[in-house]
Amino acid sequence: MNRPVRHIAIFTGVLVLALLVRATWVQFVRTDELANHEKNRRVAIASFSQPRGNIIVGGEPITGSTVTEGSDLKYKRTFKDGKMYAPVTGFFSQGYGSTQLESLNNKLLNGTDDRLFLQRTSDMLTGKKPRGGDVVTTIDPKAQKAAFEGLGDRKGAVVALDPRTGKILALASTPSYDPSVFAGTGGKDKAAWEALEKDKDKPTLNRALRETYPPGSTFKIVTASAALENGLYSDIDGKTDSPDPWTMPGTRTVLPNQNPTAPCKDASLNVAMQHSCNNVYGKVSSDLGKQKMKETAERFGFNDAKVDTPVRAAKSTFPDNINKSQTALAGIGQGSLTATPLQVAMMTAAIANDGKLMKPYMVEELRGPDLQSVEKHQPEEMSQAVSPEVAKKVQRMMEDTATKGTGKAALIDGVTVGGKTGTAERGKDQKNLAWFISYAKTADGSPVAVAVVIDPDESVPNDEISGGKLAGPIAKKVMRAVLDK
């Protein structure tokens, strides 16, 4: 071979090798990146080429699919009672992506999940169109409706749990949005999306899982648990060392009680719970110290950054690096202590379940298009937050609070109910939050624990903001909806 031909052959060989290397790089190394690239239209066309599987509540689908007119994206998502269930489903849009259960279970719903391989193969051989699987939730439709309608046009959230298993029975957040109105790519969909994005009330924010608030006096059930668990007090009806007024350590600031006429001086833990005495529970927290308070709070779920339902909840925080007066504020649910409504429901459920905290979840089962189970959830214990003995003492305090104290709004005839109100301060120029927590007990245990938070607008007078008035009746309706089953 003469020299010029040899050079051409070598050069050609290098080009072929470079082509092979490039093709290998594109097909294997960058396959996921290119497949999911925002400008890869083929992926979008494939995603919307067939009806999706459904999200199921109470045995009935709350989602569907409909043909899109005048688009190469054949199907778009529809939602039944979209505003009520948006905190559960999330959205699935041709133009704006997906969230929550729609996003986390996308492959199952669109039929490409590896666990559906045999079903896909069977459909291909029999000529059936590809089909997606279903996501079966734990949501109780009556409880969800009671929560959503109870919140009405107010800003707030409701979480209801089955303390025995961790099942999420209701998950409501208001103001809400209808995912159907921007499921496509048309002009109306764009306008609806932009309006939601500009809305200062943030309708797309899942307040039940993703917003944190000071929990106010609802946290006193954790403080009481810490006092009893650590032996600071053992008799819930015995006197405590609690001056009224009480000045926080290292300050000249008196920790005030909301009701100045309440019998809070040296009050027992039980009486102090009934009247929500800040001097008692603030001093208890300060006396125990931040470490013991933090350890107890963490057994209830605080400071856990990975609470997946499977939608991940925001982290609820018991603060580090706080002094005695700041620890006192944390003990009454103020200061830099923050919690999601889910976390507040979790601590209520743990007390109702004799101290055992079950991991919250809202997906009961994943199933294929043939209705065969692909994955079934098993209840899982998160922690033994407190001993059964301590939990039973706190239960009695909450039940006395419901019958004799501030928690009467949740009482239900013929059922044992425990309750606790909370009014959380948020600083200058912000309205206080109204909280209410409760549980119901029957002969079979406690089938429901509820947390309700209301974020009042400027039209609500300050003297009307209380957990008993605003949030208590909602908690009662949700519990009743569960018990009526």
Given this model, what pLDDT does residue 89 score? 98
Inter-CA distances, 362 with 116, 309, 319, 371, 432, Å: 22, 6, 28, 19, 30
Question: Is 426 among the domain residues?
Answer: yes
| pLDDT tens sequence for the chain (485 residues) | 577 777 677 778 778 887 887 877 767 666 666 666 656 667 667 677 789 999 999 999 999 999 987 777 888 999 999 999 999 999 999 999 999 999 999 999 998 888 877 776 666 666 567 778 999 999 999 999 999 999 999 999 999 999 999 999 999 999 999 999 999 998 999 999 999 999 999 999 999 999 999 999 999 999 999 999 999 999 999 999 999 999 999 999 999 998 999 999 999 999 999 999 999 999 999 999 999 999 999 999 999 999 999 999 999 999 999 999 999 999 999 999 999 999 999 999 999 999 999 999 999 999 999 889 999 999 999 999 999 999 999 999 999 999 999 999 999 999 999 999 999 998 778 899 999 999 999 888 889 999 999 999 887 888 788 889 999 999 999 999 999 97
What is the rounded distance in angstroms from the CA atom of residue 25 to the CA atom of residue 164? 51
In a domain, 455, yes or no: yes
Catalytic residues: 217
Cα end-to-end distance, the chain, whole Å: 90
Global pTM value: 0.91
CATH of the domain at 475: 3.40.710.10
* 308 domain residue, yes or no: yes
- What distance in Å separates the CA atoms of residue 146 and residue 172, rounded to the nearest whole number? 9
The answer to whether position 80 is within a domain reads no
Q: Would residue 351 count as lying in a domain?
A: yes
| Contact present, 376 and 60 (Cβ < 8 Å) | no
Instruction: Write out the two tokens for 419.
Output: 């309750």
pLDDT value of residue 36: 61
Sign of CA dihedral 207, 212, 218, 224: positive
- Domain membership of residue 337 (yes or no) is yes
Residue with tokens 């996003």: 103
Q: Which of 51, 50, 107, 54 is nearest to 79 (CA)?
A: 54
Range of the domain at 231: 209-366+379-483
Q: What is the pLDDT of residue 8?
A: 76
Counted domains in the chain: 1
Residue 304 lies in a domain: yes
Residue 127, both tokens: 């000529």
Residue 211, classified by CB atoms within 10 Å of its CB into exposed (0-12), middle (13-18) or buried (19+), is buried
User: Could you tell me if residue 136 is inside a domain?
Assistant: no
